[in-house]
Structure 1
């Protein structure tokens, strides 16, 4: 029995007072890579936001990395997010500091104290994404693909149980998207669990994994055609 890292049962996902997804049942086991697809406005982002505590889970039950989403308190959200690695479409890097300082800032904010260990961790995660030689650069000196690699490195800092990637290739050209996807695949192959929202069907064909779809207010698994 591999352990469930995320489970939702009969969940209803709201965006403000609008119900965007109903009767959501989803289970992700440790070590899986799962795509979340669907058109813009189909509820993908709202589902993601519910998973990392940005939107409350008002109906149904849900658990993620040992947190009960129905009982999640405001003060617990930072602790939930430490166990999640979140990768956004727009990188969300701090433009007034270097790559190294961006990552140092996150470690400091999440309670790391030992500068030597912090430095070692930063080098470790940057080397996982092929950015160890760019740690002195400012985000604006990097290409979009490089910025997203740094954002993925940032998501790995606290050794998360689950990586939530919300349209991580949404702002990238097709070649760069494949590069970033290769990084995510390597991270998955090292044992990490990943849930990735995307509307890039070319990537899904190139890197086939379990796929769930938001459509018509519901969530269901897509059976991929074998070539």
Structure 2
């Protein structure tokens, strides 16, 4: 029995007054690993922002992890984001505190109260991304790849139903990109659904998967040629 985690039907996505993507029809099932590709400025970020409630969906229909995107209320956005894990290109770690404290900050912000449970959850997600021994370090003491692993761990904290990774390898060199990609692949094999926006076509060849492309205000599925 497949479960739909994300569905957009005839959705028009706007950035301010500008129509960025028109008539978008996209569906993701639980357990999928899906790429979103396209040139800079083709609408990938607007697409992602619509999914986590940063941009309003005013035309067409959309649902994500059991939330309706059209008519999504401001007060519901924090609850939606608890069911999503979002990984950004620029890590967004708080520089003035350790990795453990970064992750604890997120747990507290999302309603966790018990210190032992928080400590256990933090150590669990850091282990998952191969960063189990680095919790006491500060972000500046880690390489870019390590910081991105921590960002992925942070995205996993609340056991999200869907992970949105927006150019997660955008700031990383090719070797580190592959290491981060391996982490995402492992997480996906464990049952996490992932939608990843990227312009790194080398990764698509190395890890082929279902792919949507943003181009000329449209989103369409592309069939990858086998390398």
TM-score w.r.t. the length of structure 1 is 0.99
Residue number in structure 1 paired with 2:190 = 190
Provide structure 2 residue ranges, at least 5 long, that are not aligned to the other structure.
Answer: none
Residues 164-193 of structure 1 show CA distances to partners (whole Å, capped at 9, x for unaligned) of 000000000000000000000000000000
**Contact 2:58/2:71, CA 8 A, preserved across alignment:** no
Residue number in structure 1 paired with 2:4 = 4
Residue number in structure 2 paired with 1:143 = 143
Could you tell me how far apart the structure 2 residues matched to 1:104 and 1:115 are? 9
Could you tell me how far apart the structure 2 residues matched to 1:117 and 1:72 are? 31
1:70 match: secondary structure: coil
Residue number in structure 1 paired with 2:120 = 120
**1:226 shift after superposition:** 2.4
1:159 match: secondary structure: coil
Aligned length in residues: 227
Could you tell me how far apart the structure 2 residues matched to 1:17 and 1:188 are? 36
Provide structure 1 residue ranges, at least 5 long, that are not aligned to the other structure.
Answer: none
**1:114 shift after superposition:** 0.8
Runs in 1 of length 4+ with deviation above 3 angstroms? Answer: none
1:23 match: secondary structure: strand
Could you tell me how far apart the structure 1 residues matched to 2:223 and 2:134 are? 40
**Contact 2:164/2:196, CA 8 A, preserved across alignment:** yes
Computed over aligned residues only, the root mean square deviation of the Cα atoms, in angstroms, reads: 0.5
Residue number in structure 2 paired with 1:221 = 221
TM-score w.r.t. the length of structure 2 is 0.99
Alignment of 1:1-227 (within 5 A): 1-227=1-227
2:133 match: secondary structure: helix
